[in-house]
Structure 1
Amino acid sequence: MAKWGEGDPRWIVEERADATNVNNWHWTERDVSGWSSQRLRQLLLGVRVEGPEGVCQLTDINKLDGEASINNRKGKLIFFYEWQLKASWLGTSSGGVKYRGTVEVSNLSDENDVDDLDISASLCKDQPNTPLLDLMKRTGIPEVRRVLGEYVHQLKSEFSQGMILPTTNQLKPLPPELKNQIKTSKTQISSTPKRSSSPANCPAGVRIPTCSFSLKETFQTSADEIYRTFINQEFVQVFTRSAAVVDSCRGGRFHLLDGSISGEFTQLVPDQWIEMMWRFRTWPDEHYATVSLELVDRGDETELRMECRGVPAGEKDSTREGWTRFYFQAIKQTFGY
């Protein structure tokens, strides 16, 4: 998730050019079906068109079947994606009468150009004829085609970052201290983490010098979307791009980034507040920081106010940078917030 040579190396859990797949020779694959499914839903449910006939907008995704992956071989990216889509639309005429219909896309794949997609719009069987269907065919279908093209663009530009690693000729020599630090971190991340007592069993933790910090971030989406992004296991796995275990209830445990991050949710107020006991693997055993996330809904955007208390002294900068890069920036890049 971080570019080579940037950020605290203890947060870096992806393949790195100094360790594996030198010169991008081997085939590597990233499954992006989860991200694709979520992004397609977001883009399609944002489709809304107006005309003299009235207003039409997509209201639900009835069918979203398929898969997507990005592959790297010898430094060349190969994209595979194939989706079949069906969505419902609701039209409101200028006189206030409502009509329902569907939009279908049967051939969204890497083999077809966006301009060649077969997209159809129709009314539900029990609906009488209405000029709104003409509006959907004239304006709605081009808008659906546009957002599907946006999905393909994001898949090939933004989400594929990091698939091609720096080659041995591109790497700059690293200082001996950083080499040793990365080597140590790789050993820690690859080995099986030691089991430590949960925060509930050891509420006091280890008494060590600590510090605190706060952050603010604005996301171009609703508070309920941001809340769900932090506590839903599928969403967490998408923006961290690694396996995760997230039990989204009070007292529920979580493990992220190959076990580098772990903790427990202590308070959950839907769409408003998340509080957790949070630790990084290299911290002293049984020591947790307290992280609180307040979500302030501002209409078309959400302000997130973060307070992190109890960070081990000397870990403040790396922890703050890690939250900014591997949580906030990753969420924005992945979901377009």
Structure 2
Amino acid sequence: MAKWGEGDPRWIVEERADATNVNNWHWTERDVSGWSEETLRRLLLGVGVAGSEGVCQLTEVSRLEGEASINNRKGKLIFFYEWQLKASWTGTTNSGIKYKGGLEVSNLSDENDPDDLDISVSLCKDQPNTALLDLMKKDGVQKVRKVLGEYVTLLKSEFSQGMILPTADGVNQPQPANQNQAKTNRTQISSAPSPAPSPAPRPAPSSTPSCTGVRIPTCSFSLKETFLTSADELYRTFTNQEFVQVFTHAAAVVEDRRGGKFQLLDGNVSGEFTQLVPDEKIVMRWRFKTWPSEHHATIGLDLKDRGDETELRMECRGVPSAEEERTKEGWRRYYFEAIKQTFGYGARLY
């Protein structure tokens, strides 16, 4: 039995003396307004633009009103944020003349994308007209949209990871995801040409993992796991990009459609969905980065809803024989155990 206060990782209700609401399973809410204010101020005060007219810099956030929170319901994260802000900016022409102005955002919320925000820029009343105002309206507004988008990304992909499954033994928190990776252009990945069919077998396998056109021995294996959740929630955990980023603690690209590409764990795992039957079956072409180039295994996940739990059967074919144990361990550790620990779907391991 897990022992409270002795660092046993099975005790994951760190701050509840009565040990209720295990895994934050039923409902938890975290007020992140303070963190949001600090983050927004830091990001906004880093905004500066330069052009042929001169340079401009946000110098003060004079108003920042609103709130933000994260809710967790059975492993589903719900984000709420609503902010109104005003900032001051200072511009300096190439000849050294200084101007002052203001910037206002009235609708930063979970209902609006950064591109839909209303951002107004103006000069102070006593300031004469200047080309620096146009610089701020064009490049300055673009920079502000970018940093407000970064705030939303941080809220969802970095700060919120502590919301699910806190541990009593101080398990390390995931490192912040690289925001450029988190915003990888999904269109570029989906439009990439499909991997070419495996070439005809050739003799003399090479010892270099990245070579092509070689003949390698492969194997098949199966695994079985039970998760304390419904089939629809487990299906979404494997196919929804935000859920994948949460349990892998890293940026990921996941296109949840037939033919959709996926890439996770810093590019060490990639592939393509070949069959998706919602809440029942997932089939994919899957590979480790270190496997011979263009070689994929075929992995099928069958989900059987058993009431308050779901049985998952995994069938894997075409794994390089030398990679069998590593592949099994990778799935157990980076998929099954990570999902259970993150979302509270823990159950016995087979």
TM-score by length of 2: 0.45
Larger Rg: 2
Higher relative contact order (CA 8 A, sep 6+): 1
TM-score by length of 1: 0.46
